Structure 1
């Protein structure tokens, strides 16, 4: 499409009566029809004239004019009234003549409502709009046309509308991404902790053996020297055997030299992983940091001749990192 015609359509879309008339005349020139147009009370009044009545037939001309107006994609107005008559001499007050005596002036007249283009079509047109090649950035002016009055051209509302729409979409997308990232960071604070496997406790962590039966001597009362002559002698001291009682099995202490440091560290890590899912206060995070630090120290205590020494060193570093993460969470929780 030539640049001049494209600029004319853009001006017509923005409400220029001169541009609307020029587009209609260009499209209807092959039928020998000339048009006049004016905006009255929010309705676009269009008068089609021809020397003969044949090119002005309602069934042919009305759909053609509607198609031209809808192809312009007018923002305003949305209502139009199409009329036709045999061409007459130049008349500057043709609209008043038509309103004063429509039966003798017109062949036919009909009001229509212009359909709005789809949103996708308007977006596509806006993205492919060509830029003006003039130095001032404004489209070239059109020669004066046969109109009664030229309304004040509206402001460029379309560009402002689409810029605002695009900015709102981008701002909404950015807010959604920021909120989603924050929630993901909060919910996945400890999701990346290394998984731990339960290992069988070492023989050193066996239950404490049952105590042997204790022998408790009963107290011996001293003889009573004030007994009567016929009183029986006092009983002799005896021993009472106390049966053994059940002793509870004590859990192995991590700091005890006889406990398996690897197994104790694994148990602490399992507890820390569970506590990390519910910790929320600074005190809970600090306690969790100390627990991860203790687990790391226990892994460091595994001897070099232990077959699990390499695994213990790797887990010691991982537990140390978890302790640092918990300390950071505690600092964040105490921050105002």
Structure 2
């Protein structure tokens, strides 16, 4: 079992800025880039320095840094602002310098957002970290370190560690079960909704709003023909209509046919005819409304 106190990658994952810098410098050593970093106002401010401009080529360096940081997955760090410049003398207040005069201090600056591991991956990693921590506490100590730890092999302490480990394991398993149940439940619910939705829709009569949305979904070249079809239906119904309700329905159909004709594009071969029919159908709709009023009396 590795002692996590000396594990730089683990410390970087826990959010240690010093460990993050060490990991970056080790992986960027071949490119000649050195880094410094400060965590400021929720953003990891990263300074990259090299001897030449070529070593600080933006797209390549940004991709490298983002890949390294996402492999580390540092906790509580999502935004990273990458700053670059030619190497210069050590400056303790380098962030103040580049903030005050970015144009004279920097070659370029780029902010990136780190992709976070999903909940399941994070739970697995946290559980592994916890196991490692518990394992470290049970490691045999060297002869020189034994006097420092008092009653390390006390049965009560061992029982407490075992109990803590068991509770952690149970909590982890319960959480995994809860996440799995929610994922399966959502999938089942979505499948059920998809299978029942067409039946529910078929049982509802189409209202005027639904008809309007359906007409908007028609291809533009079919709008003219659809308007003519509705107008023919209204004309046929007008020959046998008697009640006020029938005439109101006919008036609505003439109006719908008029609205469709008004949507015909100028590029349509029968555009001029559509403009004439728009006004004509509107007049027919008004006439049908008048017939409805007469039928009431």
* Same fold, TM-score > 0.5, yes or no: no
TMscore range, shorter length: 0.3 to 0.5
Determine which structure has the larger helix proportion and give its number. Answer: 2
| Largest Rg, 1 or 2 | 1
TM-score by length of 1: 0.39
